[in-house]
Amino acid sequence: MIRFSAAFLILLCSLSTAVAKESASRPNILFLFSDDHAIKAISAYGGDLAKVAPTPNIDRLAKEGALFRNSFCANSICGPSRATILTGKHSHKNGFMRNTGRGMDQSQWTLSKALQAAGYNTAMIGKWHLHTEPLGFDHWEILPGQGNYYNPAFIQQDGSTKKFEGYVTDLITDKSIAWLEQRDKSKPFLLMCQHKAPHRTFAPPLRHLGAFDDVEIPEPPTLFDDYANRSVTLASNEMEIDRWMDWAYDLKVRKDERGDVKLPAPDRYGTPEYNRMTDAQKSVWDAHFGPRNQVFLKDFQEGKLSHKDLVRWKYRRYMRNYLGAVKAVDESVGRLLKYLDDNGLSENTIVFYSSDQGFYLGEHGWYDKRWMFEESFRMPLIVRWPGVVQSGSVPEQLVQNIDYAPTMLEMAGQPIPAEIQGRSLVPILKGESVDWRESLYYAYYELGEHAVPQHFGVRTSQYKLIHFPVTNEWNLFDLQTDPQEMKSIYGDPTAQAVQESLTKEYYRLREFYDAPPLPMPAPRR
């Protein structure tokens, strides 16, 4: 028989009490993240769309936590936003400047590695998009690249790829809950649950087809923007609903290959997502879109639709599908919050809701993101932290995704490395008065997709200056008098003082963040 001395048993007891105390005192972190979710499509942020497309579960987080009114990204594109979140640094410092090119350099410091080393049980489930295997996670299961909506494949931790039947958002939620169930409960956790939705091609779960058919989708005032009074590069964009959103407009030349508007192509019905569905799933889809497409195509072929009618039709169809995908993301948030409630985890779990960038929902005639204009520059950010954050608070400070890593480190009681460029939001979350930044730096480096040029800029609470180095242009907006950003006042004699101070601030920020010289070289393909 093995005998333990009394002293050894006492030591063992006090150690296990210490572990239990530590995991109780260090909060869990549930990071709920989506892809391309514009704040306008979250009802807690208000606006016309919020009335017809409520997001009650995300709203619950805002009611019980803090909704950051002025939250922005550093570079409005997927991979770079994710790399910034994991490193607390602008793209030029973490090296992931564009979606294309090499994978994330994981030899550098990352949030997941730091929390894992600090004793957190860490998991990453869903869209990763950094072209590498996730590091610093005890468990991960990720979509390959952009992933698929219907019956998607997931890359497993052993390197194999497995296909699962179902809708991607539901599957990511199931997998997240399954991980929470079997996690190491002696440790606090960090779970990054990262959805693909509502990214293009805006595919809702089959149960939500038609969910928004009977509501009036409000039209943004800039749906027919003519791109006057701003950089010449706006007009050469390739993300306009009118000219660029895929659809079978003459049923011969251009097909709805990606499935943006869910019209049949002449030679095959199938878009890549359609072709992934089972026969039973296809028949639900066909029963929904078939008759609606027939009505549209009849009107179109009989010449009943003006050019503007066609844009409006595409816009409405895009929005209905986008909102259907958002509805499923909101349900996912609801399921995870319920899991926390049912398992006594709500009190000691900090919940974030965010998305990699915003998105154009018809503003400036666009879908997609990338530009420093408000709709894609803004990122939703809601944080619920029971006992610390005052319910329903709405911080006004200018915050950015460089701030997420230092925030989570402070929440977990970890030191913030000096190399991190962001700042912890903890003092703001605690409602403390804090000397905060008065301007944000922005940089966009891609050159190819959607024909958005490289641009850089600075935003204060009232003004925004955008620099287009390739065409050597500057745009300046007064966001108070021109919130839609329709007329640049750069060069306007009445704006001279503002122009000088913003230009100075732009160069100060570039130096402060140690930004590389412009223009940047073409991306590696």
Binding-site ranges for ligand SGN (CB under 6 A): 35-36, 77-78, 99, 129, 146, 199-201, 258, 368, 449-450
Query: Residues of 122-142 as b/e, b for ≥16 C-beta within 10 angstroms?
Result: bbbbbbbbbeeebbbbbbbbb
Task: Tell me the closest approach of the beta carbon of residue 231 to ligand SGN, in angstroms.
Answer: 19
- Backbone region of residue 514 per phi and psi (left: phi > 0; alpha: psi in -120 to 50; beta: other values): left
Q: Which does 201 bind (CB under 5 to 8 A by kind): Ca ion, ligand SGN, none?
A: ligand SGN
Write the CB contacts of 411 (distance below 8 Å, at least 6 apart in sequence): 27, 29, 350, 385, 426
Smallest distance from ligand SGN to CB 406, Å: 24
- Phi and psi at 133, nearest 5°, equal -85, 140
Q: Which stretch binds Ca ion (CB under 5 A): 88-96, 150-158, 264-272, 356-364?
A: 356-364
- Helices (H) and strands (E) in the chain — how many of each? 15, 15
**Closest residue to ligand SGN: CB criterion:** 78
Helices (H), 232-278: 241-244, 272-276
Return the one option of ligand SGN, Ca ion, none that residue 58 interacts with (CB less than 5 to 8 A, by type): none
121-126 and 189-194 strand pairing: parallel
Which residue's CB is nearer to Ca ion, number 36 or number 505?
36
Instruction: Report helix, strand or coil for 123.
Output: strand
Does 505 interact with Ca ion (rule: CB under 5 A)? no
The total number of residues shown for the chain amounts to 525
Total residues in contact with Ca ion, by rule CB under 5 A: 4
Instruction: Report whether 256 contacts 248 (CB < 8 A).
Output: yes
Please spell the DSSP secondary structure of 327-358, one letter per residue.
HHHHHHHHHHHHHHHHTT-STTEEEEEEESS-
- Which of 200/459 has CB closer to ligand SGN? 200
36 binds Ca ion (CB under 5 A): yes
User: Judged by CB under 5 A, does residue 325 bind Ca ion?
Assistant: no
Stretch in the footprint of Ca ion (CB under 5 A) among 2-10, 246-254, 349-357, 379-387: 349-357
Kindly tell me which residue out of 356, 363, 374, 505 binds Ca ion, with binding defined by CB under 5 A.
356
In three-state secondary structure terms, 322 is: helix
Q: Which of 193, 176, 184 is nearest to 121 (CA)?
A: 184
For Ca ion, the closer of residues 35 and 331 by Cβ is 35
Residue 489 interacts with which of Ca ion, ligand SGN, none, CB < 5 to 8 Å by class: none
Q: Beta strand pairing status for 121-126 and 440-444?
A: unpaired
Q: How far is the CB of 203 from ligand SGN (least distance, A)?
A: 10
Question: Which span (305-313, 351-359, 370-378, 452-460) binds Ca ion, by CB under 5 A?
Answer: 351-359
What CA–CA distances, in Å, run from 474 to 95, 364, 453, 490, 513?
26, 19, 13, 7, 20
78 binds Ca ion (CB under 5 A): yes
Contacting range for Ca ion; rule: CB under 5 A; set: 29-37, 44-52, 303-311, 374-382 = 29-37
Q: Which one of Ca ion, ligand SGN, none interacts with residue 141, CB within 5 to 8 A by kind?
A: none
Query: Which one of residues 34, 35, 124, 176 is an interface residue with Ca ion (CB under 5 A)?
Result: 35
Q: Are the C-beta atoms of residues 174 and 158 closer than 8 Å to each other?
A: no
- Least distance between ligand SGN and beta carbon 78 (Å): 3
Which residue number, 368 or 485, has a Cβ lying nearer to ligand SGN? 368
Q: Which residues bind Ca ion (CB under 5 A)?
A: 35-36, 78, 356
